[in-house]
Amino acid sequence: MQTELSKKLGVEHAIFGFTPFPAVAAAISRAGGFGVLGAVRYTAPDDLKRDLDWVEAHVDGRPYGLDVVMPTKKVEGVTEADVEAMIPEGHRQFVKDTLAKYGVPELAEGEAAGWRITGWMEQVARTQLDVAFDYPIKLLANALGSPPADVVARAHDRGVLVAALAGSARHARKHQEAGIDIVVAQGYEAGGHTGEIASMVLTPEVVEAVDPLPVLAAGGIGSGQQVAAALSLGAQGVWLGSIWLTTTEADMHSPGLTAKLLAAGSGDTVRSRALTGKPARQLRTEWTDAWDDPNGPGTLPMPLQGLLVAEAVSRIQKYEVAPLLGTPVGQIVGRMNSERSVQAVLDDLTRGFERAVDRINRIAGRSGQ
């Protein structure tokens, strides 16, 4: 399962695994894939340094990368407090009323919300990069388009490849013009922020649009057969995120949420603005239903929505309030029906890939060659 890109990065399999969990990222790299640690939750540089130290010590010398959420356009002089002040009181009351309806307890006095969408702020992302570039990362990925030009140049000066996610061929071409090295074509089926074009359509469109740049296919991929399909469409690898959420290495801190993921079918997700203000695929819950209800106040634009619901999400997760409990996840959740190790997932992907290639070879009359 090697491609020109995987060989360039020195990995055995062209499987790139995005995850917020250091243990999962390290396990992906050890298993022959390429682990990518998501940095958006690290608002304190020392916390990111601690976890990168851990990853570096547990990848057995294998390559790994970092994923940030960094806007291309810079907004000068805007603080988090400035943004908080823009949130309407009616929306704050809607959050209070919804939590009260389901009996969600308050956080303990002095306890801060453990979940904040602040990584979108450029100054936060830049502090993450100041830490990350002290480590031998091989890839920097950005989930909000192309990073600023000086960040791309800084990465290239250190021999770090830069990737950016795209939901359309038009976005992909903009990445190419910005000097990006790898385009991740993320289809509609994907978890988290995603566009409106399905992977089967999007992948070959992006491959053609940015040729000869390498493309990774993302969205709805969780089997070796799907990996083979992605490569046959011209991708040089796959970018997987959701599939790792139910691995034994994932530190979910929520047995209830893990149980909901294991029980969910592929139709149990929704593309909603409830979490961040931008369309993001996640488990459908009574929380997402409340925000998507036309009789409600509606969601706020990013980043207001993320700041508005930060404490509420922390409370829902801490107390595992089942009707409201959810997480970003793709439609591939329908295949995530048992807890397995990262190594077991990689083994399943490689075996499925081999079976798919053998089947195509038989159809083409090349069996045994």
At a CB cut-off of 8 Å and minimum separation 6, what does 276 contact?
A: 117, 193, 302, 303, 305, 306
- ∠177-118-87 over CA atoms, to 5°? 110
Q: Which two tokens stand for residue 297?
A: 């106040």
Domains and CATH numbers, the chain: 4-71+120-249 (3.20.20.70), 82-115+252-324 (no CATH)
Annotate 29-57 with DSSP letters as a single string.
HHTTSEEEEE-TT--SHHHHHHHHHHHHH
Angle, helices 304-318/89-101, rounded to nearest 10 degrees: 20
* pTM of structure: 0.93
Residue 220 region by backbone torsions, left for phi larger than 0, else alpha for psi between -120 and 50, else beta: left
pLDDT of residue 88: 94
Element of type H or E holding 174: helix 169-177
Residue with tokens 């704050």: 92
User: Residue 254's CB: how many other CB atoms inside 10 A?
Assistant: 16
Q: Is 35 strand, coil or helix?
A: strand
pLDDT at 119: 47
Is residue 298 helix, strand or coil? coil
Do 256 and 325 touch, CB atoms closer than 8 A? Answer: yes
Torsion angle defined by CA atoms of residues 338, 344, 346 and 348, in that order, rounded to the nearest 10 degrees: -70
3-state helix, strand, coil in the chain (%, to 5): 45, 15, 45
- Please say whether the beta carbons of 269 and 334 come within 8 A: no
Write the single-letter amino acid at 364.
A
pLDDT at 43: 81
Residue owning tokens 């340094």: 49
* pLDDT of the residue at 72: 60
User: Quick one: tokens of 254?
Assistant: 């929520």
Per-residue pLDDT of the chain (369 residues; tens, 9 = 90+): 899 999 999 999 999 999 999 999 999 999 999 999 999 888 889 999 999 999 999 999 999 999 998 766 555 556 667 778 899 999 999 999 999 999 999 988 877 665 555 545 677 888 999 999 999 999 999 987 899 999 999 999 999 999 999 999 999 999 999 999 999 999 999 999 999 999 999 999 999 999 999 999 999 999 999 999 999 999 999 999 999 999 999 988 889 999 999 999 999 999 999 998 989 999 999 999 999 999 999 999 887 898 899 899 999 999 999 999 999 999 999 999 999 999 999 999 999 999 999 999 999 998 655
Please choose, from the candidates 321, 345, 191, the residue with its C-alpha nearest in 3D space to the C-alpha of residue 254: 321
Place of tokens 């075996």: 351
Strand 215-218 with 161-166, pairing:
unpaired
